[in-house]
């Protein structure tokens, strides 16, 4: 399913449970503005290649647009627009003073040298420089972008502007004003949400729960570390785009995390059985963490899922058809717009620290992150219980209520 259609369906499913005038709903169905760029890059071996790129501004009723930049061969305008729409919802749920934005470049970065990657990143930031800024749109990392790429973006932006403005980007390395804890924030935040979910399911403290993780990059590896370290649970399966590894006795983060870090792949890991990546869904486990890409579970494969709870760290990993099958099986879904909000929350902390010049300890960052996510979880869970709806529907009810409140005060102008 097209990701923007997925967003629209999720929005519709919340509408019966929230007071919203049709005109505001209509505004939320569309991005406010989308910039499309063509980035011509001179290749090291000679010749020029042109990459398509976008930045979508979905809604800014609550504050400046905020959202990551994705580098992936499958990126297109629709995906970027959908991801920016989800950011509007996510920021509203987390109580952040932001709207939703998202960027993407259609590129397979494995085909670029470091020099070509730097040039392409700078070309993107240059094209975006009239479309971003501390009080306008604050980009951050997403799939296949990282603190080094944020540094090139920021440096380009500041050179164009002619002054320093480190809060124009987040997800920077600490030496350029990045926040401690930012790299761990999505995984750490997800485990805070999982902990709250387990409390409600009466499962917190059960050490026999088995966990599987689809996607073993930034978010997935951190989720593995924290699910072991903070909740004492055993991960029995992990997967990346090349392979799934299964060991019913457990896969220690120290061992497999190190292997992935050293070899950049799970393929060839010896202390477990190697399977095709998608076979992870049918393995015996209690909790499934989705930390790869969108649309991982759909109407076709949802019936294979053995887990009774799913934590969505990826954006849009379950299609509405897949969700219907899972709901019939009684699976609890902790939805993306809540579960992976740790990244944007700590990005907001980075933005606050940069603007005030007062930098926080990592412990303080995680304490504030925990407070904010636990509070959002409780609010959403009581809406879900009160209205007898899913946690995702409740999350949208909360978000749409807050965004539309802001839109009513602002009015529709011009």
Count CB neighbours of 367 within 10 A.
12
Residue 207 appears among annotated catalytic residues: no
Catalytic residue among 90, 102, 210, 260: 102
The bridge status of strand 65-71 relative to strand 137-141 is: parallel
DSSP 3-state of 69: strand
CA distances from 141 to 220, 301, 316, 347 (A): 15, 30, 17, 10
Nearer to ligand NAD, 123 or 296 (CB): 296
- Closer Cβ to ligand NAD, 230 or 405, answer by number: 230
Tokens (6 digits) for 242: 């090349």
List contacts with ligand NAD (CB under 6 A): 141-144, 186, 214-220, 239-241, 277, 291-293, 313-315, 340, 343
Q: Please give the distance of CA 55 from its chain centroid, rounded to a whole number.
A: 16
Residue 222: CB minimum distance to ligand NAD, A: 8
Residue 346 C-beta: closest distance to ligand NAD, Å: 9
- Nearer Cβ to ligand NAD, position 177 or 316? 316
Minimum Å gap between C-beta 144 and ligand NAD is 5
> Which are the contacts of 334, defined by CB distance < 8 A and separation ≥ 6?
193, 194, 197, 309, 310, 311, 312, 391
Least distance CB 217 / ligand NAD (angstroms) = 2
Look up residue 157 and give its two tokens.
Answer: 């932006």
Query: How near is the Cβ of 114 to ligand NAD at its closest, in Å?
Result: 17
CA-nearest of 20, 86, 71 to 335 is 86
Shortest Å distance, C-beta 409 to ligand NAD: 29
Burial 92-116 (b: 16+ CB within 10 A, else e): bbbbbebbbbbbbbbbebeebeeeb
Q: Which is nearer to ligand NAD, 232 or 268 (CB)?
A: 268
Q: Residue with CB nearest ligand NAD?
A: 217
**Among residues 141 and 322, whose Cβ is nearest to ligand NAD?**
141
Q: Which is nearer to ligand NAD, 18 or 68 (CB)?
A: 68
Nearer CB in complex with ligand NAD: 183/391: 183
Residue 369: CB minimum distance to ligand NAD, A: 12
Distance in Å, CB of 193 to ligand NAD, minimum: 12
Residue 311 or 389 having the CB closest to ligand NAD? 311
The Cα 290–Cα 31 span in angstroms is 26
Q: Please name the residue that has the structure tokens 């073993």.
A: 216
SS3 269: coil
Angle at 44 between CA 43 and CA 45, to 5 degrees: 90
In a 10 Å sphere around its CB, with 0-12 CB exposed, 13-18 middle and 19+ buried, how is residue 270 labelled? exposed
Cβ distance 185 to 342 under 8 Å? yes
- Residue 324, CA distances (Å) to 208, 243, 401 in order: 28, 28, 24
- Six-digit token pair at 197? 């979910």
**Running DSSP on this structure, what letter comes out for residue 360?**
P
Active site residues: 102
């Amino acid at each position: 399913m097209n990701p923007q259609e997925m967003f629209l369906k999720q929005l519709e499913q919340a509408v019966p449970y929230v007071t919203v005038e049709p005109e505001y709903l209509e505004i939320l169905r569309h991005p406010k503005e989308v910039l499309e760029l063509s980035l011509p890059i001179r290749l090291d071996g000679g010749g020029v290649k042109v990459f398509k790129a976008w930045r979508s501004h979905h809604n800014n009723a609550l504050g400046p647009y905020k959202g990551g930049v994705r580098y992936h061969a499958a990126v297109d305008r629709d995906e970027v627009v959908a991801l920016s729409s989800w950011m509007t919802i996510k920021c509203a749920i987390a109580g952040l003073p932001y709207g939703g934005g998202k960027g993407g470049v259609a590129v397979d970065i494995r085909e670029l040298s470091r020099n070509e990657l730097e040039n392409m990143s700078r070309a993107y930031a240059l094209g975006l420089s009239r479309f971003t800024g501390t009080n306008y749109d604050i980009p951050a990392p997403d799939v296949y972008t990282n603190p080094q790429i944020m540094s090139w973006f920021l440096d380009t932006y500041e050179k164009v502007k002619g002054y320093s403005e480190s809060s124009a980007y987040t997800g920077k390395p600490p030496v350029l004003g990045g926040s401690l804890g930012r790299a761990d924030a999505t995984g750490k935040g997800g485990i805070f949400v999982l902990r709250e979910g387990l409390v409600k399911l009466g499962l917190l403290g059960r050490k026999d729960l088995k966990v599987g993780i689809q996607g073993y990059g930034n978010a997935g590896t951190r989720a593995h570390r924290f699910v072991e370290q903070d909740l004492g649970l055993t991960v029995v399966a992990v997967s990346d785009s090349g392979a799934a590894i299964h060991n019913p006795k457990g896969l220690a983060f120290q061992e497999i995390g190190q292997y992935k870090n050293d070899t950049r792949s799970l393929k060839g890991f010896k202390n477990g059985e190697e399977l095709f990546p998608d076979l992870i869904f049918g393995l015996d486990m209690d909790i499934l963490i989705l930390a790869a890409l969108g649309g991982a579970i759909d109407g076709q494969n949802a019936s294979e899922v053995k887990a009774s709870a799913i934590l969505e760290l990826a954006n849009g990993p379950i299609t509405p058809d897949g969700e219907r099958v899972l709901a019939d099986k009684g699976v609890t879904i902790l939805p993306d717009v809540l579960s992976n909000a740790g990244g944007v929350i700590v990005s907001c902390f980075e933005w606050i620290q940069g603007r005030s010049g007062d930098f926080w300890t990592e412990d303080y960052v995680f304490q504030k992150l925990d407070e904010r996510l636990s509070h959002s979880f409780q609010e959403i869970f009581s809406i879900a219980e009160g209205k007898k709806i899913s946690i995702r529907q409740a999350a949208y009810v909360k978000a749409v209520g807050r965004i539309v409140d802001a839109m009513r005060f602002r009015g529709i102008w011009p």
